[in-house]
A = this chain, B = another copy of it.
Amino acid sequence: MSFLVMKFGGTSVANVERIRNVARHVKREIEAGNRVAVVVSAMAGVTNQLVAWVREASPLHDAREYDAIVATGEQVTAGLLAIVLQGMGITARSWQGWQIPILTDNAHGVARIKDVPGDKIRARLEQGEVAVITGFQGIEPERSRISTLGRGGSDTSAVAIAVAVKADLCDIYTDVDGVYTTDPRIVPRARRLPKVSYEEMLEMASLGSKVLQTRSVELAMVHRMRLRVLSSFAAPEAMQPARPETWDQIGTIICSEDEIVEQRIVSGIAYAKDEARVSLIRVEDRPGVAARIFGPLADTNINVDMIVQNTSSDGKHTDMTFTVQESDLERALDVLKVAKKDIGYFDVKSSSDVAKVSVIGVGMRSHAGVAAQMFKALAERGINILAITTSEIKISVLIDAAYAELAVRTLHALYGLDKD
Interface string of A65-99 (1 = CB under 8 A from B): 11011011001101110111011000001101011
Q: Is B98 a contact partner of A80 (Cβ separation < 8 A)? A: no
Q: Are B87 and A78 in contact (CB under 8 A)?
A: no
Q: In the complex, how many angstroms separate the beta carbon of A333 from the nearest chain B beta carbon?
A: 31
Q: Are A61 and B83 in contact (CB under 8 A)?
A: yes
- A380 at interface, CB cutoff 8 A: no
Contact flag A53-B16 (CB < 8 Å), given A58-B86, A79-B66: yes
C-alpha gap A65/B87 in the complex (Å): 12
Question: CB-CB < 8 A to A66: which residues of B?
Answer: 79, 83
- Chain A interface residue count, CB cutoff 8 Å, equals 37
A334 at the interface (CB under 8 A from B): no
* B residues less than 8 Å from A53 (CB atoms): 16, 76, 80
Residue from B16, B75, B86 within 8 A of A72 (CB atoms): B75
State how many copies of this chain the complex holds: 2
Interface positions of A from 109 to 145, Cβ below 8 Å from B: 144-145
A306 at the interface (CB under 8 A from B): no
Of the candidates B19, B57, B146, the one whose C-beta lies within 8 Å of that of A80 is B57
Query: Which chain B residues lie closer than 8 Å to A83 at the CB level?
Result: 54, 57-58, 61-62, 65-66
A59 to B, closest residue via Cβ: B87
Main secondary structure of the interface of A (DSSP, over half): helix
- Is the CB of A388 closer than 8 A to any CB of chain B? no
Q: Given A53-B16, A57-B16, do A80 and B87 touch, yes or no (CB 8 Å)? A: no
Please, how many angstroms separate the alpha-carbon atoms of A62 and B90 in the complex?
12
Select one of B16, B60, B65 contacting A82, CB under 8 A. B65
Contact of A60 among B60, B72, B87, B98 (CB under 8 A): B87
Cross-chain contact B94 with A65 (CB below 8 angstroms): yes
Determine the chain B residues whose CB is within 8 A of the CB of A20 once the complex forms.
Answer: 57
- Give the interface of A toward B (CB within 8 A): 16, 19-20, 50, 53-54, 56-58, 60-62, 64-66, 68-69, 71-72, 75-76, 78-80, 82-84, 86-87, 93-94, 96, 98-99, 144-146
A-B residue pairs, 4 tightest by C-beta = A72-B72, A69-B79, A58-B87, A16-B56
Known: A62-B93, A65-B83, A69-B76. 17 other contacts (CB 8 A): A50-B76, A53-B76, A57-B80, A58-B83, A58-B87, A61-B83, A61-B86, A62-B83, A62-B86, A65-B93, A68-B78, A69-B75, A69-B80, A71-B75, A72-B75, A96-B146, A98-B98
